[in-house]
Amino acid sequence: AGAQIVPKSIAGRRHGPRMAASARGDAVGHVSSTARDVWKRSEVVCFDVDSTVCSSEGIDDLAAFLGKGEEVAAFTAKAMSGSVPFEEALAARLDILRPSRGQIETFLREDAPALTPGVATLVAALQAKGKDVYLVSGGFRVMIDPVADELGIPRRNVFANTILFDEGTGEYADFDAEEFTSRAGGKARAARHIKDLTGATVLAMVGDGATDLEARQPGGADIFVGYGGIVRREAVLEQADWAVSDFDELTRALD
């Protein structure tokens, strides 16, 4: 907890049963009519944030701001490729960074990540259709809440990691290991929880990484849309129900 941070304007299978093969596109960048139908019928759409909603990896941006970019970027790449368990990569990166509340506030004022082109239009279109939009991220809530504000998404619809600060000094203390996205498989657990909260029967997950793909598990996401507009992770895109590089394609598919 702490004072609200006001950044400058903000203008990245090893799982259970999945959608039948006929519901998927035959190649990356293509999609079948069944996948389009599931997208249109989705009552809830969850977005990853880093390299998806925002055009960079927030933790890497913060690391660069703090002069620790190369050390942290290596762990981010491992986490997104699935070669290192996410919880290990998260703990390692935070141990390197140990960001204070004041440092994060300064970063958000001076160098906040930018929104990816087309995402604001897509979110507005989804909301106009009566769909609930959530941000589900392995990033940090203190950095993602302002993104939600910019997009008109209620902060209660944000599932992300919480950095804990020393209440007296504001120095980094730890992170909340109970958050869904603090460990591997957390996005699937978050998706199931969101379904329980909303009563939704069809939920879509949009993201660029292996942790987003994991959301498509029994009771979790019913369709995974792989986004490759910022970073193309071919192993992820090949397993997506629909792979896109432009959010406008998803916006058009709502009509």
Whole-angstrom Cα Rg for the chain: 17
| Catalytic site includes residue 48 | yes
| Catalytic site includes residue 50 | yes
Q: Strand, helix or coil at 49? A: coil
The catalytic position among 48, 60, 212, 222 is 48
Name residues whose C-beta falls within 8 Å of residue 167's C-beta, 6 or more positions apart in sequence: none
The catalytic position among 50, 208, 212, 222 is 50
Contact 185, 195 (CB under 8 A): no
Name residues whose C-beta falls within 8 Å of residue 200's C-beta, 6 or more positions apart in sequence: 43, 44, 132, 194
Residue 45, strand partner residues = 133, 204
Name residues whose C-beta falls within 8 Å of residue 253's C-beta, 6 or more positions apart in sequence: 36, 39, 40
d(CA 24, CA 36): 9
Catalytic residue numbers read 48, 50
